[in-house]
Amino acid sequence: MRPHISVKDLSVQYGALTILNHISIDIPDKKITAIIGPSGCGKTTLLKSFNRLLDLQEGAKVSGQVLVDGEDIYDPGTEMTHLRRRMGLLSQKPTVLPMSIYENVVYGLRIHGEKNKSKLDQAVEKYLREANLWNEVKDRLHDSASRLSIGQQQRLCLARGLAVEPEIILGDEPTSALDPVSAEQIEQRFLALKNQYTIVLVTHILRQAKRLADYVIFLYLGNLIEHGPAEKVLSSPRFVKTQAYLEGRFIEEFPIAAELDLCGGAKQDFPFRFEESLRGLTEGQIFKTLVDNEGLLRQILDLEQGQGHKVLEVRQISSTQWEIIIEKRGIGYSI
């Protein structure tokens, strides 16, 4: 799989508050990726990092890399107008411009200097059709866009975004302000467009993620908990927090009964001290271990099956350190 967007060790802070914590993830090309997670977990922040809209937020400190087609968009040499042109953004509430339907669609084209009337006319029809709005507005293209219903306005925003021929469509809960029929129209558009565009959709509606997503990213409190093909993450998630979220249960922090630091020279304590620590626990107790080596991290994750413990969560706490949260299971747990 060639990723279209590649996020590498991205962290975002507002003042002392960490909003995104060492996120690394690849967004596949020409698929729908859904970012899910409870309110406030950083979904919008992650989405905005893709087109550097975070730069406009006062006090945001961004570290790490976001590569679009292999190009680091946080590189000082990256040209912003060009970057933003490659991405169309649909926000929660439609943001039509205070002008006619026609002018809304050609807004980006005019900014880029297009003056040819027949080209503009063609673009209006083409993109209103792509947004499935043409039939409803073709006889009143010069009416004010603000007179349209909210659902029509959102499709107009989609047409305006498509008209600059982006490669990527970002949607931040784009159906949340819409009635069910309009929401379904937007969903249908996304499904129809995904062969041509890479789509990243923030949603807190699980059923929407199930209907649309090929790939799912689950965020919780600024941490990337789990990501993968939609059917895997949504039907058989690996981690307890994902399961809890999918079942609508409250996600609790884990009470830690024992800790083991396997960083630096302490690596050699694996596996003996690791097994010893687990042996010292009773079933259901939680054990936390710290590693600074990706090989060891993999080893511990792979060791899980049949070893009488279950990995609940992996939390990256710096670019080279991970916390692994493990639940002790009975010895009979092995398969």
Ligand X SMILES: Nc1ncnc2c1ncn2[C@@H]1O[C@H](COP(=O)(O)OP(=O)(O)O)[C@@H](O)[C@H]1O
| Binding residues with ligand X: total (CB under 6 A) | 12
| Binding residues with Mg ion: total (CB under 5 A) | 1
User: What are the Cα distances from residue 73, in Å, to 49, 56, 83, 221, 229?
Assistant: 9, 15, 8, 25, 26
Q: Find the binding residues for ligand X in span 16-35 (CB under 6 A).
A: 19
Tokens representing 270 are 């694996």
Tokens representing 281 are 């626990």
Q: Could you say which of ligand X, Mg ion, none residue 40 binds, taking C-beta under 5 to 8 angstroms by partner kind?
A: ligand X
- Contact letters for ligand X, residues 46-85 (x by CB under 6 A): -----------x-x--------------------------
Least distance from C-beta 109 to ligand X, angstroms? Answer: 31
Specify the residue, 43 or 328, whose C-beta has the smaller distance to Mg ion. 43
Q: Could you say which of ligand X, Mg ion, none residue 91 binds, taking C-beta under 5 to 8 angstroms by partner kind?
A: none
Q: Residues near 235 by Cβ (< 8 Å), separated by ≥ 6?
A: none
Q: Which helix (H) or strand (E) holds 246?
A: helix 240-246
Q: Which of 31, 42, 51, 245 is close enough to bind ligand X by CB under 6 A? A: 42
How does DSSP classify residue 256? E
Specify the residue, 44 or 277, whose C-beta has the smaller distance to Mg ion. 44
Least distance from C-beta 169 to ligand X, angstroms? Answer: 17
Q: Residues near 309 by Cβ (< 8 Å), separated by ≥ 6?
A: 278, 287, 326, 327, 328, 329
Q: What is the 3-state secondary structure (H, E, C) of 82-140?
A: HHHHCEEEECCCCCCCCCEHHHHHHHHHHHCCCCCHHHHHHHHHHHHHHCCCHHHHCCC
Specify the residue, 20 or 240, whose C-beta has the smaller distance to ligand X. 20
- Contact letters for Mg ion, residues 19-48 (x by CB under 5 A): -------------------------x----
Is 40 near ligand X (CB under 6 A)?
A: yes
Instruction: Find where tokens 């949340």 sit.
Output: 176
Residues near ligand X, by CB under 6 A: 14, 19, 37, 39-45, 57, 59
